[in-house]
Amino acid sequence: MAAGLVVSGLKKRYGGNWALSGVDLHVEPGELRAVIGPNGAGKSTLFGTIAGEHTPTEGTIFLDGEDLTPLSAHAKARRGIARTFQVTRNFTEMTALENVQVAVLIAMGQSRRMWRPVGSDVRSRAEQALASVNMLGQAHVIAGELSQGDRKRLEIAGALAMSPRLLLLDEPTAGMSPEETEHTADLIEELWRREGITILLTEHDIGMVFRLAARITVLDRGRLLCTGDAEEVRQREDVREIYLGVE
């Protein structure tokens, strides 16, 4: 069985509508793959299905040779799939450090530990995760009061704290200013180079996609259109067409 993420024939139907009609995807370990496509192409559904938010109607999802298809979202998370959300999700009433501590606690299997306070081992791992996204200085700031860009960094720190085998980044720069987009792109690139995690990312900002990803998968109306190197994809007629429409 191949290593990395192998998605075969993935289909997802809602009522009479096929949101995904047979997607094949193979992301090598340590690769940073971008998924692009116009609105309605099925990018969010693809992410949601891989992450376990939706159950696939047909098809399989394998990670490093392990069949993860039937698992629920929390089970997939335990098996190493971490994700961030298009609308950034954090625990807004807690500090940044407390946010990441929750992720660490769960990853360390301590979520049901009731008889002792949160240990210093958890705390230091959380601090390390914060440091890796350059947010250690804001450890004690309440998450709800962070800036947009910082909140995304915090969300990513939480995902990293899970020591994931696969990181799904769902439109990480959605709604950000150009400056914040730059910083977030820098951060993703730095994390990828340093940690070597497998990353699957979807984005509307094409510039950022071409900057970060070596290989790009293009979706259109629930199907896989093509997968290829950035340059290849950029030149293709059919890719231009789905974005620009038939003139």
Q: How far apart are the C-alpha atoms of 121 and 115, rounded to whole Å?
A: 16
Q: Is 177 helix (H, G, I), strand (E, B) or coil?
A: coil
Question: Tokens in use for 179?
Answer: 């400056």
Which residue in 37, 49, 40 sits closest to 225, CA to CA? 37
By the rule CB under 8 A, 177 interacts with other proteins: no
Q: In angstroms, what is the minimal distance from the CB of 88 to other proteins?
A: 10
Which residues between 96 and 115 bind other proteins (CB under 8 A)?
97-98, 101-103, 105-107, 110-115
Q: Which of 65, 70, 89, 229 binds other proteins (CB under 8 A)?
A: 89
Residue that is written with structure tokens 């997939």 in the block: 76
**Identity of residue 227:** T
Query: Is the CB of 37 or the CB of 52 nearer to other proteins?
Result: 52
Q: Which of 57, 60, 86, 134 binds other proteins (CB under 8 A)?
A: 134
Query: Is the CB of 101 or the CB of 227 nearer to other proteins?
Result: 101
Q: In angstroms, what is the minimal distance from the CB of 49 to other proteins?
A: 13
Bridge partners, 202 (sequence order): 35, 170
CB-based contact 132:124 (threshold 8 Å): no
Which residue in 157, 153, 148, 214 sits closest to 185, CA to CA? 153
Task: Tell me the longest C-alpha to C-alpha distance in the chain.
Answer: 67
Q: Which of 44, 49, 69, 132 binds other proteins (CB under 8 A)?
A: 132
Which residue in 103, 105, 110, 111 sits closest to 133, CA to CA? 103
Q: In angstroms, what is the minimal distance from the CB of 235 to other proteins?
A: 37
Q: Which of 7, 20, 34, 77 binds other proteins (CB under 8 A)?
A: 77
Q: How far apart are the C-alpha atoms of 75 and 162, rounded to whole Å?
A: 13
Question: Tokens in use for 75?
Answer: 């089970």
Q: In angstroms, what is the minimal distance from the CB of 40 to other proteins?
A: 19
Query: Is the CB of 75 or the CB of 214 nearer to other proteins?
Result: 75
Q: Which of 30, 40, 137, 207 binds other proteins (CB under 8 A)?
A: 137
Query: Is the CB of 91 or the CB of 192 nearer to other proteins?
Result: 91
By the rule CB under 8 A, 93 interacts with other proteins: yes
By the rule CB under 8 A, 60 interacts with other proteins: no
Bridge partners, 33 (sequence order): 200, 215
Which residue in 188, 123, 201 sits closest to 149, CA to CA? 188
Report the interface residues with other proteins, using CB under 8 A: 51-53, 73-75, 77-78, 82-83, 85, 89-95, 97-98, 101-103, 105-107, 110-118, 122, 128, 131-132, 134-138, 140-142, 145-147, 150, 158, 162, 194
